[in-house]
Every structure is written in C-alpha cells, then in structure tokens.
C-alpha cells in the first residue's frame, strides 16, 4: 500500500450529521476538543431538532454539528461544508445542499437500505444514481465495520450499533491529522464506571483512525497548521458557559452575591445548569414555577442587595415583560438574559435568530427604555455579561443581555481573561441613617441619575417602592401630571447616559469609503469574514459592530457619515434597521436572513458588491 | 402531605449530604403524629420560642430588645390611607401596626410585599421596608428576597383576586417550598379596586357587574387549597375581631415556614356583609367556631360542639344531656387529617365556620435548605476561586 500524502490546508468545514440518537453532538464536541488541541482557530454550530428523540431515520430527526477550523482567522462556522459525515440517508438528504460543489461526502453505506431510504423520502438510492455527481463520495460501511470490530464485546447489538459514532470520529480525526488522545482521555473518564462501554469506545476510536490509514479510499490526509492567535492561555468555550462565567466574575468583583432565578427553556436552560454548579461561590439558583416567578424572584433578590439575574428566551421574555417594567419604574438593578431563538411564539426553539430586538426595545407597556447589551462571539459573552451587570448596578436599572442560540451553543477558542484586569466594579449601598428625616429613595446621582440602593436591614432607610408612579425625590405615590412627564423623561435620560461611558466604536476595515456594514450580536463573525473578502477584492468597505444596542454609541452617526452606502445585515425581518433609520434618518439598507442559521458571509459579500456596483434596489 | 406522613421507605426530605438546617428547636416536632396536648398548652407544634426569628449574631434593634420601646405610631407612615371609609382593611392595618412593636424583629428588618388590589396598598401605610409590586406576583418577589436575605422578616399582603386568581400558581408553590414568610390573604370575595367583579372566592350565583345573571364559577376554599399544596401553617381570622386577629397574626409570624392566614374582610362598597353571619354579634356565636390546639370544638357559648361521626363532622347539642364536651372533637394542629376536616367546614348550613389555627407542622424552610446546601458545598470543596474556574478544563498556551 502506498504511503498517504499529507496536504496542508488553511481551513476546513466539517459537518457531522445523523439521527438524534447517533451521538452527533458528542462526536462534534470531541472533534472540537481535538481541534483546540491542534491550536486551530474554530467556530462551531450545533444544530439539533426540538424533539428529544424524533422517530429514527426521519429527516426531522436529523441532528448536526458543524465545525469550521483553520490556521487562519475563523469568524463563522462556515458558509459551505467541505466534508459531510452522513450517518444515514436522512442526514444526507437534509444536509447535502450545505456541501460545496466538489466537496466530500462520507456516507455510512450500511444505513442505506430500503426502509431508511423510504423514511428519508428517497425514491431511489442516491448512492446508486447520479445525484451525488460533483461530490467526492467516500463509502464506509460504518455499521458493519463497527459490528466486526466489536464482535467479541460483551455489549448487546443495540449498544454496539450506538457506538459507531466513535468509529466515525476516529476516521475524521485521522483525516484532518487531529490528536486522538483528548478523546481517549474523555472516554476513559466518562465511562470509568462502565468498563465494557469504555473498552468498546476506545477500540472503535482506534479502529476508525486506523481505517483511514489502511483504506484505499483516501490517497491523502489533511493537515491544518496552528492559528496565529494572540499569545496567552486559551480554552474552547461555548457562549453559554462564558456568559455564566461573566456573571460570576461580576459577582466576585462587585462583592454582590449572585442570585439567578429561571424557568427551564431552550436554549437558556444551560445557563441555569451551569450556575447551579457554582454553589461554592455562594451562587443562589432558583428554579421557579414559571417565567414570571423567575423574574419576580430576581426582583426580590435585587431589592435585597444581590446581583440579580433571570435568564430565558423570547417567549419567556414576553411573560416577564410586566415585571421588567416594574424593575424599571422601581429602578432596581438586574440582568435579563435573552437567548434568542426563532420566533414568534414557540417558533424554532433550537434554531438561532435575532428577532427579539424590538421586543427588548419596546416590549413593555408604557415608555420604558432600558439598556440592551448584545454579545458578538461565544467568548464575548463573558465580557458582555460582566458589562451588563456593571451597567445595571451603576445606573440602578434592569439591563437586557441579548444573546442567541448560536452564541449559546457555539464554541470558539477563548483567551482566558486576566482576573486582575477586569474593569472595576464598585458598589455603593445607601448608608444607615439615624436622623428623623424621611429617607428619600428617588434622589439621584447627578452623573448617572441613579437612585440610591437602600437594602432592607439598613436602619433609618425604611421606604416603600412599587409599580405606581413615583414622586421625584421622595418616591411617594404621585398622580401629578407634570411629575409623570418628568419621571418618564428622567428614566429615559438615565438609560441614554449609559452611552457616555461607552468606549469609542472600532471600525473594521476601511474607516471611510463606499459601504459601511452595521451589525449587532452574533452576526459579527459573518460580517467581518465578508468584510475581509470584500477588502481582498479591492472594495472600499468598513464594518462596525454594536455591542450596545440601547443606548446607541454616540459616535455611530459620525462613522455612518463617512460612507456612501449603509447596510444592516440581521437574522430577522429587519429590526435594527428600523431603529437606525428612526434615529439617524439615513438610508440604511436592510439585508435579512430568517432561516434559523448564522448569516452566510457570502451573501453579505454579494449584496455589498451589488450595492457598490449599483444593482441594488434602494427600497 | 405533612412531614411525618411520608410513606415508609421514602428517602428523607433533605437531599443527600445535607445537614438539617440549624434552627431553633421545634417543640412540636417531638410529638408523635396526631398526639393530643393538654388543654391550654402554650407551645403548639411549629411554634418557636420568643426571639427565635432573629438569626444568631444579628444586631439587636430598637424593636427587639426593649431599648427604645416602639409604638404603633412608629409603624405608621405619613401617607393618607386611601381605602374607602368603613373598609375592613383599616382594622387589619391597625392590628398589624399594634403587633409590630411586640415582635422581636428589628424594625429595619421588616418588609411588606404586596401585589395589586385594595389590600395591596398596605405596604404604603407601614413605616417599614415595602414593595407594592404587580398583580399576583408578591409571593415570587418575597421568595427571592427571603431566599437571598434569610434574616429579613417578610410579610406578603394579598387578596382573593391577587392571591388566588392571577397569582394562584405562585401561592401554591410558596406553600410547597415553605419559605419562612407570612402570607395574609385579605378575603372579601370580590374585586374591589376594579369596582365590583366576582372573585375566585365569590359564591356561585353571585350577581356582580360582570355576572349580571349570576356567577357560574365554583369558588375556592382557600384553606383546602393551601392544605392541598402542603402548607405548614393554615389559619383564619376576621377583620371584626382584632383581638383574635392579633393572636393569629402573631402565630403566623412565629411559625418557622410559610404562615398562611386568611382574613375575612368586609368590602362595604361592593360586597357588604359577605361574612356578617360569622362576624356580627347577633349570629357570630352560633355560626362561628374558634378552634384551639388541644381544646374541644365547642361554640355558641359552650352550648354546642362538633363531633366526628364516621368520616363526617356533626354539630351536637351540649345542653340536652346526651352529649358533653368530652364527646367533642379535640383539635390537634399537627394532624393533617383533622386539618382536612376542619378546613373543609366551609359555608355549611349544618356546621359553623371555623376560625383559628387549623394546621401547624414543622418542615425545613426553603431558604434554610438553600443556604445549608451552599454551606455544605463550600465546606466540601472550599470557597470557589474565580481564576481557577476560568482556567479549568482543557487549556492550551499560545506563545508570542
């Protein structure tokens, strides 16, 4: 057998797809871990159905894990897939369109039998006709090979078949020259108490790896050099974990105990799971009876002087709206995390979207503008969470942290922050008073307009707050017409003043020119990837990304003024674009994608090119 | 279901590895289930000795140690009370304000939390910490506050609409968690603040603004509802009997766990006289029975009593020679079965309406367990270090 050649590539996108029960999320995350050890830059997109165990073999039961990695700067989980690993016909059917022309498709041929083809809706076997022309098809009898490899194992047939993902993982690790020992260590730990399963998995992993060496189907394997990342210590992190750590860091730095009240909801539940493990940090987690109780408990904890947080997704925010308004009028600090998902209503629970922006801006009764912070990458969730907490306490206001499903579940290398360099987080509670004078809970700080945070238990500060309009200064109930207008304006002004604290915006690419791409939240990677391609093509393009969605940064207008065209790509039907048009009265163009997936950078590239070349309808 | 009625073989209530919360010794917990006490017993189950509510090490406050004797006036705010003249809420406010100087919590540790409705204006008139929140949600806010600040003395003020309709879900979950707060349910069987619609405690057939042909809704019996949710303290009193009300308020307060107290409260504008049968002089003695732990259920000046007949309760005449007080049911606050019987004496033609403490048992509180669990994890793992946590798992170094 001829020795395999090694081909060096800069980047690749791989997609593992199979049944919900095929262990694709696990396979993907182990491949991610190996890729982190190979020191590549990476971005992941886990993509799974809302059903826990959809009927086997169906297209709606397909679960996928996409990973884009390379020696170059990786900003997105990949527009197009280089290698699709399809465990069954349904996985092939659902995902083939994502594979680039000329890309590879590794299929488990053992699964391509009549019943599975029928379930996937194939009238004829795609491996037998010309439907895969133009792709490199790698045929592997995964199930058969797995059974052969484990013929002496004490495991039963079902358990053996369920292990075939380890064979696939081993093969994929070989193909891209990834280290195999991180997965070996993980298996050994995970199944330490189930030696038969541990042995079977380790054996299959090795068999898969060796299969790559021996099969004639591969003439070469790939190698991806380490990425040139900023020096420091890294770990691969999912956005939801970074967000939890950011909240925890805010608690540690401020000295405020962290209270998290939440009700289970996809994709925010992992935040509850993660924080509930931090009991040794004194973190209090409360699984409430419903979304309203979750936010209510956080309001109670905020009144008591905790760093209060509630987390949910869009439908949950809808239920919490009245209580968020209460926190706004009572001017208590808290963070409301929204892990956005496809909506409206239950919508697409496991898919990502940015369609709760207007809900965050306006989804309450009355005039109630509250600060909104939106993280842009999985790692940025840490800083954004810290920042949201800091704003909440500094300005005595609820703050919405607008993350999304892609950020929550996606992973990326994360430069572990230096704790000693976190922004300072001072907290000042109102001090006990021995005077006979009534405490005035609505006297404001001249700079921030924040009212004092007076905790129950503090002598002499007994006071009442509530949902009825407050008299300026005293906080007494007031129905006075002029006072209501004053208070409404004060509350809005307080939110607006957050903008004074914001660092200057950084423009990616050209700082003036033909097109400015304005983004917010999780589309940052796609937008910057598109900008890179446009710049490489000689286009005069810049991009600006908004972490602070409300209030908008004060320097945004002047940056907009330096470009001829303005475009706002969003994963919704055009929400930020309305806010910007309303605010600046400039001809922002909308570019939208509403498919429950991250924005393909290529679409931004073509749109911007046609803008410059004058093909775009200015509507 | 009460603690002591757990089926055999079930795991203990506390999670594994958790220590029993450090709390004052509970006299009642030593009694076997259903045991009777001698009449006049001063310390029924669940009742704490005075001073128990203040956590160890908490500073003595002016309300507690008698250093400066506070009076009712110290608990009255300068806000005009805006209830309708003649409203039953005035009597409740006055009684609570009178009770406050007698409880041993420092004044600054007292917090009143309410929802929306006439009763929910209550916190504005109490010169303590307070929050007038949103409709039905006071239990959720109180839970978050008490869970995070167990040393505070938290009172929830709610009404039949606020607590049982829009906030019904939170009310039952508060009971099962047994958060150590007091919940005062001002029941007037009507929506007052929205001007007279029927409430979830209004009787069937009631003609109101929203039911011109009579209500077809079956009403809740609040006592039975919270007993079903495993409340650990269930009591009832009335606005027209401030003396009894004060004793009940104190009992609910001193209970370590959720103290549920229903207060019959007359709305003289929209539902005048809803409880007069039980509260007014002419009929009160015959139509109301005041239950006390260890004492027989007698009423009508001792001329009538209640006995158990099979699975039913029946009224007996103690003056005809056939029955005596010895035949009467002896109240036992620790018996969930008895609580069920008494709690279900509800708007019956043949039985009087019960008042008093129907049920009182000891069960670990939510916040005690929460903090015991945190302490346990800290003891086992050591206090968490942020830097270590950030650097945990698989990491790698990129050199410059």
Contact A456 B370 (CB under 8 A): no
pLDDT at B17 over 60: no
Q: pLDDT confidence of B360, banded at 50, 70, 90?
A: very high
pLDDT of the residue at B399: 84
A519: its two tokens: 């983004």
What is the per-residue pLDDT across A91-140, written as a single tens digit (0 to 9) for each?
A: 999 999 999 999 999 999 999 999 999 999 999 999 999 999 999 999 99
Judge if ipTM > 0.90: yes
Chain B residues whose beta carbon lies within 8 Å of the beta carbon of residue A229? 398
pLDDT of the residue at A613: 93
pLDDT at B40 over 80: no
Contact B145 A300 (CB under 8 A): yes
Across A370-384, A594-608, B2-16, least confident range: B2-16
Per the prediction, chain A carries an average pLDDT of 95
pLDDT at B53 over 50: no
Pick the CATH number of A507-612 from 3.40.50.300, 3.40.50.920, 3.30.70.890, 3.40.50.2300: 3.40.50.920
The CATH number of A235-421 is: 3.40.50.970
Chain A residues whose beta carbon lies within 8 Å of the beta carbon of residue B149? 304-305, 455-457
What is the per-residue pLDDT across B122-163, written as a single tens digit (0 to 9) for each?
A: 999 999 999 999 999 999 999 999 999 999 999 999 999 999
The CATH number of A5-224 is: 3.40.920.10
Q: pLDDT confidence of B42, banded at 50, 70, 90?
A: very low
Q: pLDDT confidence of A50, banded at 50, 70, 90?
A: confident
Report the C-alpha gap between A106 and A612 in whole angstroms: 40
Q: What is the mean pLDDT of residues A424-445?
A: 94
Contact B378 A279 (CB under 8 A): yes
Decide if B399 touches A, using CB distance below 8 A: yes
pLDDT at B385 over 90: yes
Q: Tally the C-alpha atoms within 13 A of residue A499's C-alpha that lie toward its C-beta.
A: 15
Residues ≥6 apart with Cβ < 8 Å to A427: A254, A255, A256, A393, A453
Report the C-alpha gap between A611 and A172 in whole angstroms: 41
Decide if B144 touches A, using CB distance below 8 A: yes
Of A39, A245, A465, the CB nearest to B396: A39
pLDDT of the residue at A2: 57
Contact A303 B147 (CB under 8 A): no
Contact A464 B129 (CB under 8 A): yes
Question: Where do the domains of chain A lie?
Answer: 5-224, 235-421, 507-612
Residues ≥6 apart with Cβ < 8 Å to B110: B63, B100, B126, B128, B129, B152, B153, B155
Contact B396 A233 (CB under 8 A): yes
Residue ranges of the alpha helices (H) in A311-354? Answer: 314-330
Tell me what percent of the residues of chain A surpass a pLDDT of 70. Answer: 99
A595: its two tokens: 């498919």
Contact A235 B398 (CB under 8 A): no
pLDDT of the residue at B21: 42
Chain B residues whose beta carbon lies within 8 Å of the beta carbon of residue A298? 144
Whether residue A357 contacts residue A314, with contact meaning beta carbons closer than 8 Å, is answered with no
Q: What is the mean pLDDT of residues B392-400?
A: 86
Q: pLDDT confidence of B67, banded at 50, 70, 90?
A: low
pLDDT of the residue at B236: 98
* CB proximity under 8 Å: B 169-198 to A: 169-170, 173
Q: Which residue has the tokens 């330096």?
A: A562
Contact A233 B170 (CB under 8 A): no
Contact B143 A476 (CB under 8 A): no
Contact A296 B387 (CB under 8 A): no
pLDDT at A330 over 60: yes
**Residues forming a β-bridge with A11:** A70
pLDDT at B51 over 80: no
Give Cα separations from A346 to A55, A314, A342, B87 (angstroms): 21, 9, 8, 45
**Chain B residue with Cα closest to A37:** B396
Q: pLDDT confidence of A616, banded at 50, 70, 90?
A: low
- Nearest CA among A54, A52, A55, A46 for reference residue A17: A46
Distance between A454 CA and the closest CA of chain B, angstroms: 10
Higher pLDDT, B40 or B293: B293
Report the C-alpha gap between A275 and A247 in whole angstroms: 9
pLDDT at B26 over 80: no
Contact A419 B387 (CB under 8 A): yes
Q: pLDDT confidence of B233, banded at 50, 70, 90?
A: very high
Residues ≥6 apart with Cβ < 8 Å to A385: A242, A243, A244, A245, A246, A247, A249, A250, A335, A337, A375, A401
Q: pLDDT confidence of A572, banded at 50, 70, 90?
A: very high
Question: Where do the domains of chain B lie?
Answer: 64-274+361-390
pLDDT at B397 over 80: yes
CATH architecture of B64-274+361-390: 3-Layer(aba) Sandwich (3.40)
Higher pLDDT, A1 or A481: A481
What is the per-residue pLDDT across A532-569, written as a single tens digit (0 to 9) for each?
A: 999 999 999 999 999 999 999 999 999 999 999 999 99
What is the per-residue pLDDT across B326-358, written as a single tens digit (0 to 9) for each?
A: 999 999 999 999 999 999 999 999 999 999 999
* CB proximity under 8 Å: B 75-94 to A: 77-79
Q: What is the mean pLDDT of residues A264-288?
A: 97
Chain B residues whose beta carbon lies within 8 Å of the beta carbon of residue A296? 133, 137, 139-141, 143-144, 170
Distance between A443 CA and the closest CA of chain B, angstroms: 17
- In order, the DSSP letters of B303-320 are TEEEEEETTEEEEEESSS
Chain B residues whose beta carbon lies within 8 Å of the beta carbon of residue A280? 377-378, 381-384
Q: pLDDT confidence of A287, banded at 50, 70, 90?
A: very high
């Amino acid at each position: 057998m001829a020795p395999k050649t090694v081909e060096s590539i800069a980047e690749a996108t791989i997609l593992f797809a199979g049944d919900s029960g095929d262990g694709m999320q696990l396979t993907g995350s182990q491949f991610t871990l190996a890729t982190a050890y190979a020191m590549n830059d990476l971005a992941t997109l886990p993509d799974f159905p809302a059903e826990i165990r959809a009927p086997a073999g169906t297209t709606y039961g397909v679960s996928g894990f996409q990973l884009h990695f390379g020696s170059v700067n990786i900003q997105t989980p990949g527009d197009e897939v280089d290698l699709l690993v399809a465990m069954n016909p349904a996985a092939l059917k659902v995902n083939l369109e994502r594979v680039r022309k000329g890309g590879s498709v590794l299929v488990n041929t053992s699964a391509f039998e009549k019943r599975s083809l029928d379930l996937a809706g194939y009238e004829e076997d795609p491996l037998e006709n010309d439907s895969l022309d133009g792709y490199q098809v790698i045929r592997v009898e995964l199930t058969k090979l797995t059974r052969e490899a484990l013929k002496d194992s004490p495991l039963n047939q079902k358990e053996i078949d369920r292990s075939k993902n380890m064979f696939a993982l081993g093969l994929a690790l070989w193909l891209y020259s990834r280290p195999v020992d991180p997965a070996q260590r993980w298996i050994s730990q995970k199944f330490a108490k189930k030696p038969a399963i541990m042995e079977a998995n380790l054996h299959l992993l090795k068999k898969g790896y060796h299969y790559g060496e021996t099969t004639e189907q591969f003439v070469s394997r790939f190698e991806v050099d380490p990425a040139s990342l900023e020096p420091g210590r890294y770990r691969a992190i999912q956005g939801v974990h970074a967000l939890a750590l950011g909240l925890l860091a805010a608690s540690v730095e401020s000295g405020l105990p962290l209270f998290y009240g939440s009700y289970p909801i996809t994709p925010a539940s992992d935040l509850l799971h993660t924080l509930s493990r931090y009991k040794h940090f004194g973190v209090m987690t409360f699984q409430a009876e419903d979304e309203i109780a979750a936010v209510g408990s956080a309001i109670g904890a905020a009144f008591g002087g905790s760093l209060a947080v509630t987390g949910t997704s869009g439908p949950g925010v809808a239920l919490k709206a009245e209580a968020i308004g209460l926190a706004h009028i009572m001017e208590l600090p808290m963070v409301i995390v929204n892990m956005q998902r496809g909506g409206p209503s239950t919508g697409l629970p496991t898919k990502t979207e940015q369609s709760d922006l207007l809900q965050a801006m306006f989804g309450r009764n009355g005039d109630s503008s509250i600060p909104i912070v939106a993280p842009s990458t999985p790692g940025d969730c840490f800083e954004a969470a810290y920042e949201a907490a800091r704003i909440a306490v500094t300005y005595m206001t609820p703050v919405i942290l607008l993350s999304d499903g892609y950020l929550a579940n996606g992973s990326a290398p994360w430069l572990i922050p230096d704790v000693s360099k976190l922004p300072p987080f001072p907290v000042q509670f109102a001090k006990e008073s021995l005077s006979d004078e009534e405490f005035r809970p609505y006297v404001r700080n001249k700079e921030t307009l924040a009212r004092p945070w007076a905790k129950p238990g503090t002598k002499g500060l007994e006071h009442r707050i509530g949902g009825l309009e407050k008299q300026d200064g005293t906080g007494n109930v007031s129905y006075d017409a002029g006072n209501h207008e004053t208070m409404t304006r004060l509350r809005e002004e307080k939110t607006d003043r957050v903008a004074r604290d914001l660092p200057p915006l950084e423009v990616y690419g050209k700082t003036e020119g033909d097109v400015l791409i304005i983004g917010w939240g999780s589309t940052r990677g796609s937008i910057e990837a598109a900008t890179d391609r446009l710049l490489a093509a000689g286009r005069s393009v810049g991009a600006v990304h908004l972490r602070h969605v409300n209030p908008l940064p004060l320097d945004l207008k002047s940056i907009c003024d330096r470009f001829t065209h303005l475009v706002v790509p969003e994963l919704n039907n055009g929400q930020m674009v309305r806010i910007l048009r309303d605010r600046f009265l400039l001809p922002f163009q909308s570019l939208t994608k509403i498919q429950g997936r991250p924005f393909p950078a290529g679409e931004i590239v073509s749109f911007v090119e046609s803008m410059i070349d004058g093909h775009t309808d200015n509507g | 279901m009460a603690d002591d009625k757990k089926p055999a073989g079930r795991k203990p209530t506390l999670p594994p590895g958790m220590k029993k919360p450090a709390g004052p010794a509970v006299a009642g917990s030593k009694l076997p289930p259903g045991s009777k006490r001698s009449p006049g017993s001063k310390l029924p189950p669940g009742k704490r000795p005075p001073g128990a509510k203040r956590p160890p090490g908490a500073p003595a406050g002016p309300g507690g140690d008698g250093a400066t004797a506070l009076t009712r006036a110290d608990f009255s705010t300068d806000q005009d009370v805006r209830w309708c003249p003649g409203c039953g809420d005035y009597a409740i406010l006055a009684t609570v304000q009178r009770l406050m100087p007698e409880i041993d919590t420092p004044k600054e540790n007292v917090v009143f939390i309410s929802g929306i409705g006439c009763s929910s204006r209550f916190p504005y008139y109490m010169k303590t910490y307070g929050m007038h929140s949103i409709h039905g949600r006071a239990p959720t806010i109180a839970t978050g506050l008490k869970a995070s600040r167990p040393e505070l003395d938290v009172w929830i003020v709610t009404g039949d609409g606020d607590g049982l309709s829009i906030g019904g879900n939170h009310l039952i979950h508060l009971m099962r968690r047994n958060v150590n707060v007091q919940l005062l349910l001002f029941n007037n069987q009507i929506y007052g603040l929205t001007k007279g619609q029927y409430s979830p405690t209004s009787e069937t057939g009631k003609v109101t603004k929203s039911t011109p042909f009579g209500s077809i809704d079956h009403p809740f019996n609040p006592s039975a509802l919270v007993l079903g949710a495993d409340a650990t303290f269930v009591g009832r009193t009335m606005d027209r009997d401030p003396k009894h009300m004060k004793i009940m308020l104190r009992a609910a307060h001193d209970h370590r766990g959720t103290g549920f107290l229903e207060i019959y409260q007359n709305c003289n504008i929209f539902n005048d006289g809803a409880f007069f049968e039980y509260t007014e002089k002419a009929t009160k003695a015959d139509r109301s029975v005041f239950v006390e732990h260890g004492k027989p259920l007698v009423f009508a000046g001792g001329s009538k009593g209640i006995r158990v007949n099979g699975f039913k309760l029946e009224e007996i005449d103690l003056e005809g020679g056939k029955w005596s007080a010895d035949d009467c049911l002896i109240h036992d606050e620790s018996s969930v079965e008895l609580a069920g019987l008494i709690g279900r004496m509800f708007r019956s033609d043949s039985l009087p309406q019960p008042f008093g403490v129907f049920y009182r048992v000891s069960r670990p509180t939510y916040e005690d367990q929460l903090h015991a669990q945190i302490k346990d994890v800290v003891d086992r793992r050591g206090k968490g270090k942020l830097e270590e946590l950030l650097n945990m798992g698989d990491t790698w170094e990129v050199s410059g």
